[in-house]
Amino acid sequence: MSYHGRVEKTMEAESTGLLSHLIQTALDRVREENKFDIVMFLGIDGRIFCSSIPNLLDSAQYQLLNMVKENLPHICSQLATKNLLLSMQRYETGSMIISGVGDKAFLVFLMTSELDVANLGPIAKKVLNTSVVVHHLMELKPITIEATKSYDEEVSTELRKLSRLLFVEKFDSTRQYRKNMEVHKYLREELGQVLERGLLDEVITMAYNEVGTSAAYMNDRQWEALLGLILEEVRKLCGDVVADRCSKKWKPEVERLLQSFV
């Protein structure tokens, strides 16, 4: 996927690693924004898919977590056989909210601070919205305006934010980014042998600006154009012989890097 020219740079979960990161981010965000102590995403067979748990648990949090573990078979049975959609339980140590995510999974929210029973509306809405968000991600649906238009405004906004966060946090681990940085590094090293440092920076920066993007977002056609611009400058500054020698060496190598990168 090309990110160049996109005003809103967001990313879809194109691999299981990215999907896992996206769901983890969703759970972390709902935990931090709503002062939940623990948020877990589980399957109705009891497997924990993802969880957002603080590094250190206090006794109340530990007690609540144990309570969930003890009740897990019962909760799973309720979800699998009785189609449980939402359940809120309040104990002396805290509160437990369970919300179904589709037919085969559910979210558990644990809270040791006091739950305002008289004013449950906002928290219930947040929990249900999170279920819709996680369900959307789990079903691998695209995060586009068309795909999210049937949702509540808060849900589509949260999905867009998650998609943006995924780009910010994970773009530098994509294949496109790593390949581009490899080509950029190669060209910079090679050009550094022909031009002195000041000129090198100027030529490289101007070439990227002429192409209209930066190294991270280049595509194959833009690399070709960039190489042409750089060679043109080398020809002006160092003469035809050097430019021809560079062209013979750089063009095949850049092509090889673009095609062979894994």
Partner 1 sequence: MLDVALVSLINDLSEKAGADGVIQFWQRVGENLASRMGKEAYLGWPSFNVAVREGRTAFSIEGETVTLTDMAIMDVDGDVVGYLYALKQCVFLPTILRVRYTSGDLPRADREVAQEYNDSHHDIAICNFCVFHERFREEVAKNITVSSQPLNCLLLATRGFTGETKISTKNLQKIGINPEHVRALLRNYECVYALEMRGARLKEGD
Which residues lie near partner 1 (CB under 8 A)?
A: 3-9, 167-168, 171, 205-206, 208-214, 216-217, 225
CB of 223 to partner 1, least distance (A): 13
| DSSP characters over 150-176 | TS-HHHHHHHHHHHHHHHHHHGGGSHH
Q: C-beta of 160: minimal distance to partner 1 in Å?
A: 12
User: Please, which residue, 8 or 114, has the CB nearer to partner 1?
Assistant: 8
How near is the Cβ of 214 to partner 1 at its closest, in Å? 5
Angle, nearest 10°, between helix axes 175-192 and 240-260? 160
**Cα–Cα dist 36/197, whole Å:** 53
Q: Which is nearer to partner 1, 109 or 217 (CB)?
A: 217
Nearer to partner 1, 7 or 56 (CB): 7
Considering the complex, what minimum distance in angstroms separates the CB of residue 227 from partner 1?
14
Sign of the Cα torsion 51, 52, 56, 62 reads negative
> Can you tell me the distance from the alpha carbon of 223 to that of 144, in angstroms, rounded to the nearest whole number?
29
- Cα separation values, 65 from 27, 80, 138, 193, Å: 16, 21, 24, 61
Shortest separation between residue 120's beta carbon and partner 1, angstroms: 31
Report the DSSP beta bridge partners of residue 51: 40
Nearer to partner 1, 10 or 112 (CB): 10
Q: Round to whole Å and give the CA distance between 126 and 116.
A: 14
Q: What does the block give as tokens for 182?
A: 């490899």
Cβ nearer to partner 1, comparing 8 with 196 = 8
